[in-house]
Amino acid sequence: MTTSARPPADARAPGAVRRVVMVDAVRTPFGRARKDGLYAHTRADDLAVKTVRELLRRHPQLPPERVDDVALAATTQQGDQGLTLGRTVAMLAGLPASVPGFAIDRMCAGAMTAVTTTAAAIGVGAQDVTVAGGVEHMGRHPMGFDAEPNPRFLAERLVAPDALNMGVTAENLHDRFPALTRARADAYGVRSQERYARALAAGAITPDLVPVALRDPERGWGLATADEPPRPGTTLESVAGLPTPFRPGGRVTAATSAPLTDGAAACVLAAEDVAAELGLPVRLRMVSFAYAGVDPDVMGLGPVPATHKALDRAGLTMDDIGLVEINEAFAVQVLSFLDAFGIDDEDPRVNPYGGAIAVGHPLASSGVRLMAQLARQMAERPDVRYGLTTMCVGLGQGGTVVWENPHWTGTTTREEDAR
């Protein structure tokens, strides 16, 4: 679905497609998923509630009753990540009882799918304003915990025996593409840490973070205000000797993988005309989106066909894209994307604030983190018109959203406006 076309005079006319915009996006600081991590004693749904409340606090001009739906994603929907998250989080965040909600699961692309699903509803006029996001408390709910894959997957050879292990699928990419060396992956992982550190020092990370009150039975009360996973000062020398946990003599290490992470993120979406009516800001304008499947044993290739589809639907090519936010589940997965599109490993368009290797990857929430970072970069870069957010997804999928910069200062032709 393409939402970039200029709407007719009556944007609510039957069959009209409305422009969809992202009003704002926030996230909690991300914590390490371990017994002494930031959120070891914090509920997953409470993390999601913090993000929704913060969005409402930042935008008092948005009447809560104007929110038409709340879509919240989680990969492991059990315990405090179960019970129809969108509805329960909406109630806990203080939205009126009239506001419905639902839960979504597309593994790592959960929040991205929450965004695109409700954006489609806005685009066709079924809704005006939505809240979309995701949460993952991997410390409480490890990925795949208590899941029971159908035995046909292996008996009928629908997937390779190790395709459910994301680290092994990353090693498979190294195998399939010899140009994706460990040296390149190590260099990429170090660069992610460096770019995140520079962005943090420049004040580009903190504005999108929602402080979270913490209560630890042993340490007492605290406040989470910064991401816990980053490893500042990481060097090539320090990662050269790291073990390869997914395969003896492999190439994937802790330095080239996103750490297990806890966190939540959410955003407000609206029809552009409704945002103008309510006096809401516009941080991104949606152009197109697409999802695609690949062989599960090379899961990390998913962003490539998804991006081709999204660009084709928008009538664009990668040459039109000035900024790319790609989720760094593994360095090799990013490198495979870069090679597919002929992009240099150090291209400044790609993850200028660093990525999940540094900041972490709380599975279903990461899609909105990508959008928040892209929005802040676009505000800094009015010379860039288009950007995209993309990520690989477990079991062999990829998702991509193409966005237009509302701060773009260029000019368009009549043909471009009509596209």
Identified catalytic residue from 141, 308, 392, 407: 392
What is the model's pLDDT at position 146?
77
Q: Is 267 a catalytic residue?
A: no
Question: pLDDT (tens digit, 9 = 90+) per residue, 104-129?
Answer: 999 999 999 999 999 999 999 999 99
What is the model's pLDDT at position 219?
80
**Residue 412 pLDDT greater than 90, yes or no:** no
Place of tokens 């990525």: 355
What is the model's pLDDT at position 216?
86
Identified catalytic residue from 108, 141, 174, 267: 108
Identified catalytic residue from 141, 174, 308, 361: 361
What is the model's pLDDT at position 416?
54
Confidence of residue 9 (pLDDT cuts 50, 70, 90): very low
**Residue 199 pLDDT greater than 60, yes or no:** yes
What is the model's pLDDT at position 13?
62
Count Cβ atoms within 10 A of the Cβ of residue 1 and give its class: 0-12 exposed, 13-18 middle, 19 or more buried.
middle
Question: pLDDT (tens digit, 9 = 90+) per residue, 226-242?
Answer: 999 999 999 999 999 99
> Could you tell me which residue, 16 or 83, shows the higher pLDDT?
83
Report which DSSP code applies to 72: E
What is the model's pLDDT at position 388?
98
Structure tokens given for 185: 């992956």
Q: What residue ranges define each of the domains in the chain, with the CATH number in brackets? A: 160-206+286-402 (3.40.47.10)
Structure tokens given for 250: 């492999």
Place of tokens 């962005």: 199
Question: pLDDT (tens digit, 9 = 90+) per residue, 203-212?
Answer: 999 999 999 9
Q: What is the mean pLDDT of residues 213-217?
A: 90
Q: Is 361 a catalytic residue?
A: yes
Q: What is the mean pLDDT of residues 282-290?
A: 98
What is the model's pLDDT at position 414?
40
Question: pLDDT (tens digit, 9 = 90+) per residue, 24-80?
Answer: 999 999 999 999 999 999 999 999 999 999 999 999 999 999 999 999 999 999 999
Residue 245: how many other CB atoms lie within 10 Å: 12
**Residue 2 pLDDT greater than 70, yes or no:** no
34-39 long-range CB contacts below 8 Å, 24 or more apart?
34/139, 34/260, 35/139, 37/139, 37/228, 37/262, 38/212, 38/214, 38/224, 38/228, 38/262, 39/137, 39/139, 39/212, 39/214, 39/224, 39/262, 39/263
Q: Is 392 a catalytic residue?
A: yes
Residue 414: how many other CB atoms lie within 10 Å: 6
Amino acid at site 191? R
% pLDDT > 90, the chain: 86
**Residue 7 pLDDT greater than 50, yes or no:** no
* Cα distance between residue 104 and residue 113, in whole Å: 7
